[in-house]
Structure 1
Amino acid sequence: MQFTWTKDEEAFRERLKAFLADTLPEDWERFSQHGPASPSLTRYAESFCAALAREDLLTPHWDKDIGGQGLGPWFQTILAEEMWIAGEPRGGQYMNVNWIGPTLITYGTEQQQQRYLPPISEGKALWCQGFSEPGSGSDLASLRTRAELDGNEYVVNGQKIWTSYAGLADTCFLLCRTSDDRKRGITILLVPMDTPGITVRQIPSLIGEGDIHEVFFDDMRVPATARLGEEGQAWEIIAYSLRNERLGIPRYSLARAALDRAVSILQHRGDFTREAVRIEAAEAAALTEAARMASYAIVTRRAEGQVIGQESSSARFATVMCERRVAEFIVEHLPEALADDHPYLKMHHQRGIVAGIAAGAAEIQLNIIASDVLELPREPR
């Protein structure tokens, strides 16, 4: 693995830092506590992403003929790191550039690409993902929302839960069951959220605001042209999408920035002299760098054109571990951060405590690592 950046990559990072310094409002650290799926941050993200797009900084890793700069996966990583260090001012639109767009580019029809890619590359689109269901959670193969083909339309009935951005999204990336086969019976529909038959109910949250929802589908009809890929192809498509999603969320960068901020505060007030505190900080720092290296190993493979498999779950779980450790360190040694004394640290805590749930529960990642990476038997021998 190469541990140095090229001059172009370093210049790109500095350009991003300058853009953030010039663009984010003075009260951004406090404002960012609204949460990435809140109405306030979602409204701000639309103008922020439009500004990113005007500077060719929203989708630089996309090919030039579809609204990008053709800069490749390392530039995507740098972009994501700097956005997360800043508290992710793109809000829910990070999904667009990380996996919605690339998935449409790979599997979408020409008509779907013409309809959906321009709004994404212009910073005007907001999507939600209709994955989890009551009783299904991260086990996507057990979903029960049903789509029945009736002439040239699909009729959808069912329910999704824990759906971020659903109350504000334009379009839903919806998983439905079109046959009883556990994995090959799942199909993807691209559904406008203003389609009749959709009901969205907000779920009260202990953190943030407007983050998660229930979504109900009652005899909702969409044309067959809304299907992404073929019937039953969803498992292949989702595997591709989730690998992009998990590598596009470098939470380790925010965790390390928050840890460094916390240590600086402790040093300034003379509370970083105890050996136990310094050891805990060192352990947290080591975990953030381990997560970074695990992610970089995957990015290296992608940059070399290699197929990325379920080993991405290892990088994902390493990130969960570092997020938890940093959050625990801050709660233990700077608890006043949760009472607004240090807005940046509170913002990190709000994002960090859900790290083991968002983008696939940590326990599910461990199951994937055990079965698909380590190839451990499911039953004792």
Structure 2
Amino acid sequence: MEFVWTEDQREFRERIKSFLAELLPDDWERFSQHGPASPALTEYAETVCAKLAAEGLLIPHWPQDHGGAGLDPWYQTILAEEMWRAGEPRGGQYMNVNWIGPTLIRYGSEEQRRRYLPRIAEGRALWCQGFSEPGAGSDLASLRTRAEQAGDEYVINGQKIWTSYATLAQTCFLLCRTSDDRKRGITILLVPMDTPGIVVRQIPSLIGEGDIHEVFFDNVRVPVTARLGEEGQAWEIISYSLRNERLGIPRYALARAALDRAVKILQDRGEFDAPLVRAEAAKAVALCEAARTANYALVSLRARGEELTAESSTARFATVNCERSAAEFVVEYVPNALVDEHPFLKMHHQRAIVAGIASGAAEIQLNVIASDVLHLPREAR
């Protein structure tokens, strides 16, 4: 089978490239090292997203009655690829448009949609996701943060960790335990981050300033209307959300852009002729292409109106492999990139560090593949 883009899709991609070429400052590559959750890039992303919204390029895949253009998932993929290839100038807002907004459209109450969707559609919202916990990590069924109903409120106590954007986010997409049932006891609350009782502490890291945090909830009170869906419905909602998230983050595009730059640097130095260097570059390119085609298979399902399945974990793991391979190639053959000589490569390396953690740890993806794709018996895993 031969895959080709339609004329409209090619024009859409060129429109995005032209937009970015005109919008991004000359020092964008160095500026992007601030990290997607830094105050500097978050502020700049709000400008970018507002201009994308004005051009109809922020949420083109959303339904028309929610401010989008109703375009099919291929256009969402094209948009995301070009944003990530440029270093993702939308900052943390990519999360809003890829999965938080669509999740609210599907599961949110009328009041929740009225409250949150317009700000996302205008490029003025920043969310964080309260998923991982100490001792739970990516195993969401083990979370212990508790929400007890008291009249018309929930009282929340617990802790989240590795939370991106928590310092600057206005709202947290929070997973809480409302009963002791491992999976059916989890509920989602949409919690304003300025609610009394929330304490955020930044965790120093190598992946960019302001990127990860601890978040503590001490008798935090929110109204019952903050609940998304029904009590115990979180597993269904999160399955839908994470499949959209993993598909909406084409890290393979950034990895391939970094790899192409590294190869060009080596060619300019006359250092790309060694067979081992060329073989390692070819391996990394092959993994990038494998990740891209695995993701395209899922986009094709969505374009036909079919639900994404656990196969999304195979695409996610393929993307982890390509990110790691591109980063390892740079470290091995262009190590000076990590000391600011080539800021785009340094920025990619910072992002690649978390490739096997963000959006669900690689080990969790392998467990999902073993159980839900290959249907292996537990003793064989």
Using the size of structure 1 for normalisation, the TM-score is 0.99
Matched, 1:37 2:37: yes
Matched, 1:237 2:234: no
Task: Note the residue ranges of structure 2 that are not aligned, 5 or more in a row.
Answer: none
**How do 1:112-151 and structure 2 match up within 5 A?**
112-151=112-151
Cα drift, residue 160 of structure 1: 0.5
Q: Provide the C-alpha distance between the structure 2 equivalents of 1:2 and 1:380, rounded to a whole number of angstroms.
A: 37
- After superposition, the C-alpha distances for 1:124-161 in whole angstroms (9 at most, x for unaligned) are 00000000000000000010000011000001101100
- After superposition, the C-alpha distances for 1:50-100 in whole angstroms (9 at most, x for unaligned) are 011000000000011101111110000000000000000000000000000
Q: Provide the C-alpha distance between the structure 1 equivalents of 2:2 and 2:295, rounded to a whole number of angstroms.
A: 13
Q: Give the corresponding residue for 1:11.
A: 11
Q: Give the corresponding residue for 1:96.
A: 96
**How do 1:220-259 and structure 2 match up within 5 A?**
220-259=220-259
Q: Give the corresponding residue for 1:314.
A: 314
What secondary structure does 1:154 align onto? Answer: strand
Cα drift, residue 335 of structure 1: 0.3
**How do 1:1-381 and structure 2 match up within 5 A?**
3-380=3-380
Q: Provide the C-alpha distance between the structure 1 equivalents of 2:315 and 2:16, rounded to a whole number of angstroms.
A: 25
Q: Provide the C-alpha distance between the structure 1 equivalents of 2:69 and 2:200, rounded to a whole number of angstroms.
A: 37
- After superposition, the C-alpha distances for 1:181-227 in whole angstroms (9 at most, x for unaligned) are 00000000000000011111111112310111111111110000000
Cα drift, residue 379 of structure 1: 1.6
Conserved in 1, the CA contact under 8 Å of 2:103 and 2:241?
A: yes
- After superposition, the C-alpha distances for 1:334-376 in whole angstroms (9 at most, x for unaligned) are 0000011111111111111210111001111001100111011
Cα drift, residue 30 of structure 1: 0.3
- After superposition, the C-alpha distances for 1:267-325 in whole angstroms (9 at most, x for unaligned) are 11100111111011001000000000000000001101111111100000000000001
The one-letter code matched in structure 2 to 1:343 is P
- After superposition, the C-alpha distances for 1:21-54 in whole angstroms (9 at most, x for unaligned) are 0000110000000111111100110111001100
The one-letter code matched in structure 1 to 2:241 is S
**Quick one: structure 1 residues 380 and 23, their matched pair in 2 at CA, closer, same or farther if it must change by over 3 Å?**
closer
Q: Provide the C-alpha distance between the structure 1 equivalents of 2:16 and 2:129, rounded to a whole number of angstroms.
A: 28
The one-letter code matched in structure 1 to 2:192 is P
What secondary structure does 1:165 align onto? Answer: coil
The one-letter code matched in structure 2 to 1:151 is G
Q: Provide the C-alpha distance between the structure 1 equivalents of 2:206 and 2:3, rounded to a whole number of angstroms.
A: 40
The one-letter code matched in structure 2 to 1:207 is I
The one-letter code matched in structure 2 to 1:60 is P
Task: Note the residue ranges of structure 1 that are not aligned, 5 or more in a row.
Answer: none
Q: Provide the C-alpha distance between the structure 1 equivalents of 2:313 and 2:270, rounded to a whole number of angstroms.
A: 39
The one-letter code matched in structure 2 to 1:369 is I
The one-letter code matched in structure 1 to 2:67 is G
Q: Provide the C-alpha distance between the structure 2 equivalents of 1:380 and 1:354, rounded to a whole number of angstroms.
A: 28
Conserved in 1, the CA contact under 8 Å of 2:245 and 2:359?
A: yes
RMSD, aligned α-carbons: 0.9
Q: Provide the C-alpha distance between the structure 1 equivalents of 2:380 and 2:56, rounded to a whole number of angstroms.
A: 53
Q: Provide the C-alpha distance between the structure 1 equivalents of 2:305 and 2:71, rounded to a whole number of angstroms.
A: 14
Q: Provide the C-alpha distance between the structure 2 equivalents of 1:109 and 1:2, rounded to a whole number of angstroms.
A: 43
Q: Provide the C-alpha distance between the structure 2 equivalents of 1:380 and 1:164, rounded to a whole number of angstroms.
A: 35
What secondary structure does 2:191 align onto? Answer: strand
The one-letter code matched in structure 1 to 2:36 is P
Using the size of structure 2 for normalisation, the TM-score is 0.99
The one-letter code matched in structure 2 to 1:176 is C
The one-letter code matched in structure 2 to 1:146 is R
Structure 1 segments, 4+ long, off by >4 Å, are none
What secondary structure does 1:112 align onto? Answer: helix
Cα drift, residue 2 of structure 1: 5.5
Q: Provide the C-alpha distance between the structure 1 equivalents of 2:201 and 2:269, rounded to a whole number of angstroms.
A: 46
